[in-house]
Amino acid sequence: MPEQTGLERATFLILLTLVSAAFFLVLWQFYGAILWAIAVTVVFRPVERRILARVGGHRNTAALLTLLLIVAIVIVPAILITLSLIEEASSVYARLQSGEMNPATFLRGVHATLPWWVTGLLERFGMNDLGAIRDQLSTGVTGRIQAVATQALNIGQGALSAMISLGVMLYLTYFLLRDGPTLTRRIGESVPLPADVRELLYTKFLTVMRATMKGSFVVAVAQGTLGGLIFWGLGIHAPILWGVLMAFLSLLPAVGAGFVWVPVALYLLATGAVWQAVVLVLCGIFVIGLIDNILRPLLVGKDTRMPDFIVLISTLGGIVLFGFHGVILGPLIAAMFIAAWHIMTDQRRQARELARNPDPPTP
């Protein structure tokens, strides 16, 4: 290839920048589908390799069988749960509208069960007007629950868009499973970074992606499933809705499923369902609460975890910026940020050491 002049090189870089920006703008319409396709591929890559060995190295067959497995154990259950969630959200919304479910009843029950020393403490701090506080909290809680239920009902309006995104995700997953190593190598060769830096960032990317999917999501599904089954066994209305909410909150460190089952246990206690409240508290502490401590170290390992406060902040920030996709993008961006700064720090330290101790001249 003939040597390029300065003008030709600059023109080519401008063209490369423009077409790259345009390409990413086109892909941005399906960034969620692309993100989940990559995440699913990373998690199921070991499965695809085992299937590949059993089918004699036929990549098309191995990728197709892996994709069918993903549909059977991930996609179909997710669709069924979503349909049940919409149905239960409709039921909860209808009960709120009719007044059958009223958070004020819970607050009145709690007020009636307060011991004398608690009411005295409230009076000392000027919070003796519990009627006004109850009304304000009741209005706020009702509004929040109605907003959540309304958002769940609106899921059906985007069914066509969701189906298109799902189709794109599955289609892309097939090709990533089949051609992933080749694509990874080509992208790595195109990235203008030193080989060691590129390898470190790629390893960090895979580590965080696997940790998020295998650790956070498996733990969340386990806690949500067990929580929903416990709620169903205790006869609590809309167990799937509460189970999904517990699963979602389980993705956030220091938050967890306790933000769901603890208020429900207090509600049961305040309304006279004492044995149900006791059972729920025991199951919440010794069943739901212990899942994170048992499963997460087995699935993730201590060396792959970031500090909980970084995971919490990055996850919440990711959700604010990207919606539900931020559950993956938030911790991933935080991990890449930490890795990039560690690389820069190591390079600067090595440069300082080299400046203080230069290599002796060769004879």
Q: Are residues 166 and 38 in the same domain?
A: yes
Single out the residue in 124, 147, 178 at which a domain terminates.
178
**pLDDT at residue 122, as a whole number:** 58
Among the three residues 178, 211, 229, which one is the final residue of a domain in this structure? 178
Containing structural domain, residue 219: 196-352
Exposure string for 85-110, b = 16+ CB within 10 A, e = fewer: bbebbeebbebbeeeebebeebbbbb
Domain contains 362: no
C-alpha closest to that of 206 among 41, 29, 9, 347: 41
Total structural domains in the chain? Answer: 2
Average of per-residue pLDDT across 178-187 = 85
- In this prediction, residue 177 carries a pLDDT of 92
Quick one: 111 and 245 in the same domain? no
Same domain, 64 and 110: yes
Q: Identify whether residues 344 and 217 lie together within a single domain.
A: yes
Give domain status of residue 62, yes or no. yes
Q: Do 165 and 260 belong to one domain?
A: no
Name the residue among 151, 162, 156, 152 with its Cα closest to residue 30.
162
Is 171 in the same domain as 205? no
pLDDT at 265: 85
Are residues 203 and 344 part of one domain? yes
pLDDT digits (tens, 9 = 90+) for 289-329: 888 777 776 666 555 567 777 877 888 888 888 888 888 88
Given this model, what pLDDT does residue 266 score? Answer: 81
pLDDT: which is higher, 3 or 195: 195
Token digits for 297?
A: 């170290």
Task: Give the burial class of 251: count Cβ atoms within 10 A of its Cβ; 0-12 exposed, 13-18 middle, 19 or more buried.
Answer: buried
Segment among 36-40, 166-170, 285-289, 295-299 with least mean pLDDT: 295-299
Q: Do 211 and 325 lie in a common domain?
A: yes
Q: Are 171 and 212 found together in one domain?
A: no
| pLDDT score of 206 | 82
39 with 93, same domain? Answer: yes
The tokens describing 304, both together, are 């792959």
Q: Average pLDDT for residues 168-186, to the nearest whole number?
A: 89
Whether residues 122 and 200 share a domain: the answer is no
Q: Answer yes or no: is pLDDT of 50 > 90.
A: yes
Evaluate whether residue 266 is within a structural domain: yes
**Rounded CA separation 124/145 (Å):** 32
At 37 the pLDDT is: 92
pLDDT of residue 97: 66
pLDDT, tens digit, 9 for 90 and up, residues 61-104:
999 999 999 999 989 988 888 888 777 777 776 766 666 655 55
**Residue 18 counted as domain residue:** no
Residue 272 has phi, psi (to 5 degrees) of 95, 0
E-assigned strands of the chain?
none
Distance set, CA 27 to CA 14, 18, 21, 32, 247 (Å):
20, 14, 10, 10, 30
